Chains A and B, each alone.
Chain A
Amino acid sequence: MKIRHSGSSLLMIELLFALLFFSLASGITIRLFVKASLLSSETVAANKAVVLAESIEEEFRNSDVSAGNIYYDKKWTKTNTSDGASYQVSIRITEVEDPTCTVSVTRLSDKSTILTLSSLKHERRKVS
């Protein structure tokens, strides 16, 4: 017995296949978008962390920096406490041989370290 399909049923089957393929493709694409967005945010955080850590290291080289924690919100504005903070900048000073300043920038949401930077204190001298 021959089964006859109407034109609209065939079109619907075709559309269903197209939708299936589209859902698979968009699933992969959306995952890529999310990954791209996360990478972009991580890059911004890493750039901010580098500038902040370098500034603290420079300050340490020229003057005295006190050890402790500084907190920043998600827009990298300094906050007084850890409440509502998104990032933590830890400053550690060690004086075993030469004075060394270690700055660590941590993302508080997942406690991941974005950057750790160490520098020694050098005597400023005249360069001819």
Chain B
Amino acid sequence: MKRRTPSGHLVDILAVLLLITLFAAASLTVVLLGAGVYKKTVSDMNDNFTTRTALAYLTQMIRSNDRNGNTEVLRDQNTDGLKLTASYDGDSYNIYIYVKDQSLMELTQKSSLAFNPENGRKIMDIRDLSVSEDKDDLIHIRVTGSDGETEEVSVSERSTS
């Protein structure tokens, strides 16, 4: 019977080590690939959530209160937003949607009361909101999400005054 030389053992050990290294490198590559895909998906989902949710919320608020062309652009000292008018039980209310301290806020109060941004209720985190209305009564809304992603939408009022 042939006896194995010490160099033969060394080759065996090196081959095993090489296989283990290959295995470790391949595992790491797969894990990194997975992490990259997961990171991208989460980032896309966050972008989608912050900007599109805010846009959908603003659009739906305009739609649900679309009576007699009562949607106005809110221009306050440091606040840009929307001012909607609604009527409940014969009383007239103003709904203000604006940005304060990087948060989208909503405030519903009687029309007779003065607007105070401090009284609003926080809806969600956003960085910036810009609202403008052109000569055709088309409302342009631009939302910058908390991650810096900007999305823009135009909304037309169905009703007229």
Contact = CB atoms under 8 A, between A and B. Distances in A.
Interface string A68-112: 000000000000000000000000000000000000000000000
The A interface, classified by DSSP as helix, strand, loop or mixed, is helix
A26 B22 CA distance: 13
B90 to A, nearest CB: 14
Nearest to B10: A8
Given A6-B4, A15-B23, A127-B67, A51 B153 contact: yes
Contacts of A41: 44
Interface stretch (B33-41, B95-103, B110-118, B121-129): B33-41
A8 B34 contact: no
Given A36-B37, A63-B138, A126-B161, 13 more contacts: A6-B4, A6-B9, A15-B20, A22-B26, A26-B26, A33-B33, A40-B41, A55-B153, A59-B154, A59-B156, A122-B158, A124-B160, A127-B68
Given A12-B16, A15-B19, A22-B23, A128 B67 contact: yes
Nearest to B140: A55
A51 B155 contact: no
The 3 closest A-B pairs by CB, nearest first: A8-B12, A63-B136, A62-B156
A26 B30 contact: yes
A63 B69 CA distance: 16
Measured as residues with beta carbon below 8 angstroms from the partner, the interface class of chain B is: 35 or more
A12 B138 contact: no
Given A125-B159, A126-B159, A37 B153 contact: no
B151 interface: yes
Interface string A16-60: 101100110010011001001100110110010001001110110
Given A30-B33, A126-B161, A19 B12 contact: no
A61 B138 CA distance: 9
Contacts of B72: none
A58 B138 contact: yes
